[in-house]
Structure 1
Amino acid sequence: MTDAPLLDPAETARVREGIAASVLGAPEGLAASLERDADGYLRLVDASRVGAEEAGRLLREAVQGARAAGHSWDAVGKVLGVSRQAAQQRFADKGAEPSVPAAGAPGGPERRILGGLSAFNEMAALEEAGREGWHSVGYGPYFHEVEASGQPWEHCRITLPSAARHRRMEAEGWIPVGAGWFPWRYYKRAVRPGD
Structure 2
Amino acid sequence: MSDEPLIGPEESRRVREGIAGAVLGAPDGLAESLEHDAEGYLRLVAATRVGAEETSRLLREAVQGARAAGHSWDTIGRILGVSRQAAQQRFAAKGSATAPGATAGGPGVPERRVLTPLTAFDEMAALAEAGLEGWHVVDYGPYFHVVEASDHPWEHRRVPFALGNRHRRMEAEGWVQVGAGSFPWAYYKRPLKGRNR
TM-score, structure 2 normalization: 0.93
Deviation, structure 1 residue 134: 0.5
CA shift for structure 1 position 50: 0.5
- Work out the CA distance in 2 between the residues paired with 1:97 and 1:3: 33
46 and 87 in structure 1: CA distance in 2 versus 1, 3 angstrom threshold: same
**What are structure 1's unaligned runs of at least 5 residues?**
none
What residue in structure 1 maps to residue 141 of structure 2? 140
Q: What is the match of residue 93 of structure 2?
A: 93
Letter in 2 for 1:53: E
1:5-39 residue CA offsets vs partner (Å, 9 max, x unmatched): 21011100010000000000111111111111100
Q: Report the Cα distance in structure 2 between the residues aligned to 1:27 and 1:154, rounded to whole angstroms.
A: 37
The reply on whether 1:67 has 2:67 as its aligned counterpart is yes
User: Does the CA contact (< 8 Å) of 1:134 and 1:152 recur in 2?
Assistant: yes
Q: Map Cα deviations across residues 45-65 of structure 1 (whole Å, 9 max, x no partner).
A: 010001001000000110111
Secondary structure at 1:127's aligned position in 2?
helix
Q: Deviations over 1:79-119 (max 9, x none)?
A: 11111111111111233443328887973221111110110
Other-structure match for 1:40: 40
Q: Contact 1:30/1:43 (CA < 8 Å) preserved in 2?
A: yes
Deviation string for 1:101-154 (max 9, x for gaps)?
888797322111111011011000000000000101111111111111111100
Q: Helix, strand or coil: the match of 1:40?
A: helix
After TM superposition, the structure 1 = structure 2 runs for residues 11-160 of structure 1, keeping only pairs within 5 Å, are 11-95=11-95, 96-100=97-101, 107-160=108-161
Distance of 2:124 and 2:111 partners within structure 1: 21
Contact kept, 8 Å, 1:74 with 1:83, in 2: the verdict is yes
Alpha-carbon distance in 1 for matches of 2:11, 2:78: 19
| Code of the aligned partner of 2:122 | N
Identity of aligned residues (%): 69
* C-alpha contact 1:3 1:79 (8 A) present in aligned 2: no
The unaligned stretches of length 5 or more in structure 2 are: none
Query: Would the aligned equivalents of 1:159 and 1:183 in 2 still touch at CA under 8 Å?
Result: yes
Please tell me the residue identity of whatever aligns with 2:116: G
TM-score by length of 1: 0.94
